[in-house]
Amino acid sequence: MLLNPAILALLLVSVLVSMMLLVAATFAIRILRHWDIQSGSELQLRLERRTYLISTLLIWAFLFEFFSLLLFIYNAEALSGQFVGAMCATGVLNLNPWGWPTLFMKIAMFFVAAIWLALNYLDNRGYDYPLIRFKYGLLALALPLVVAEAVLQWLHFTEMEPNLITSCCGTLFSSDAQGIAGEVSGIAPAKSILTLVMSAILVIAAGLWVAIRGRGGWLLSVMGAAAFAIAILAIVSSISLYIYEHPHHHCPFCILKSGHGYVGYFLYIPLFLATALSLSAGFVSPWRKIASLNQTVAEMLPLLSWLALFFFIQFYITAAWSVWRSRLTMMEVWW
């Protein structure tokens, strides 16, 4: 399995990103100990020059993380045909105990990376770099996540056994199954769609408020995180049923297949981007009180909000279209 090009690419990216963040973390220690913007010492000048290099290194590292998440999911789908019992990415993730933790770690890193990139852009626009200690302090969170992701991914790929019979998505995502997946699958479609509509109204209202008023980014951040969780629940419990036109098929990965028009990508990509932008708005908003960042925050916050709204609306339109065009009728479930 390790000779698979996609797997080799994922492992290489994990190693490179881990090394990049390790270098950046070493530099971050020097920043936290010696940074003094008021000083004209040679050490301070060296730190300022290297800051641009390290920032560029981290930008590329986090961009690699974005593509790594997409490639990991795509590769899991592509490998599903090589294992007995695997009909989609669910079966590949179920091959060993490391598949799902790797996916969750990559998702966490996606959001951490988005927040850091937003803060880095904001800090670079300030003439006195007021957030430099804060943003490099965040590497204390990002580095263990990246290393853990790399280790989990290595274990997942190295412990894949081609002759192993794995469980399919119908076993895991079923209202009769045990665990969280079973509980989510058991949510009544009417309830999940109603909750999805309510969350859509709230997050769009919050986005408009922040975009127009230019303040309250924390509200969009909270609403965005809640909308993300509710959307994932709705995809599993109801939207997937309409896409498959089957009342018992709850898999969140089969919607990525060509047989369903790759509609899953048109749901997940806007949803993840919208959530990342809304979370970034919440981290950008509090720095308005710093004089060197006031104008930049005033420009960034509405932009982040409008972009988050654009992608959230794109997700909701795709979800509504998937339900509307479906030949599956579940009116008895609704009433």
% of the chain at pLDDT higher than 70: 96
Task: Kindly state whether residues 190 and 317 are assigned to the same domain.
Answer: yes
Task: Kindly state whether residues 158 and 229 are assigned to the same domain.
Answer: no
Task: Kindly state whether residues 212 and 324 are assigned to the same domain.
Answer: yes
Report the chain's mean pLDDT, rounded to a whole number. 88
Task: Kindly state whether residues 114 and 213 are assigned to the same domain.
Answer: no
For residue 282, is pLDDT > 90?
yes
Q: Which amino acid is at 274?
A: A
Under 8 Å between Cβ of 319 and 196: yes
pLDDT at 92: 87
Among residues 167, 193, 214, which one ends one of the domains?
A: 167
298 vs 178, more confident: 298
What is the rounded CA–CA span in Å between residue 107 and residue 141?
A: 14
Angle between helices 294-325 and 99-124 (to 10 degrees): 140
Lowest-pLDDT choice from 17-26, 37-46, 204-213: 37-46
Model pLDDT for residues 65-102, shown as the tens digit of each residue = 899 999 999 998 888 877 777 778 888 888 889 999 99
Task: Kindly state whether residues 63 and 114 are assigned to the same domain.
Answer: yes
Task: Kindly state whether residues 188 and 97 are assigned to the same domain.
Answer: no
For residue 38, is pLDDT > 50?
yes
- Domain hosting 241: range is 171-335
For residue 131, is pLDDT > 50?
yes
**Alpha-carbon radius of gyration of the chain:** 22
What is the number of residues in the chain? 335
Of the pLDDT bands very low, low, confident and very high (cuts 50, 70, 90), residue 333 is very low
pLDDT at 1: 60
% of the chain at pLDDT higher than 90: 48
pLDDT at 111: 95
Task: Kindly state whether residues 108 and 125 are assigned to the same domain.
Answer: yes
Among residues 167, 189, 204, which one ends one of the domains?
A: 167
Give me the mean pLDDT over the 198-207 stretch: 96
Backbone dihedral region of 321: left (phi > 0), alpha (psi from -120 to 50 degrees) or beta? alpha
What is the rounded CA–CA span in Å between residue 300 and residue 323?
A: 35
- In three-state secondary structure terms, 96 is coil
Among residues 129, 144, 167, which one ends one of the domains?
A: 167
Model pLDDT for residues 14-29, shown as the tens digit of each residue = 999 999 999 888 888 8
Torsion sign over Cα 159, 161, 162, 166: negative
Contacts of 98 (CB under 8 A, 6+ apart): 152, 153, 155, 156, 159
Q: H-helix or E-strand containing 72? A: helix 42-79
What is the rounded CA–CA span in Å between residue 304 and residue 211?
A: 8
Model pLDDT for residues 147-176, shown as the tens digit of each residue = 999 999 999 999 887 777 777 776 777 666
Task: Kindly state whether residues 157 and 182 are assigned to the same domain.
Answer: no
Of the pLDDT bands very low, low, confident and very high (cuts 50, 70, 90), residue 270 is very high
What does DSSP assign to residue 286? G
Task: Kindly state whether residues 139 and 249 are assigned to the same domain.
Answer: no
- pTM for the full predicted model: 0.91
Task: Kindly state whether residues 93 and 162 are assigned to the same domain.
Answer: yes
> How many domains are there within the chain?
2
Task: Kindly state whether residues 269 and 160 are assigned to the same domain.
Answer: no
Task: Kindly state whether residues 335 and 211 are assigned to the same domain.
Answer: yes
What is the rounded CA–CA span in Å between residue 91 and residue 77?
A: 9
What is the rounded CA–CA span in Å between residue 78 and residue 2?
A: 14
Under 8 Å between Cβ of 177 and 120: no
pLDDT at 138: 86
Residue of 226, 232, 246 lying closest to 184 (CA atoms): 232
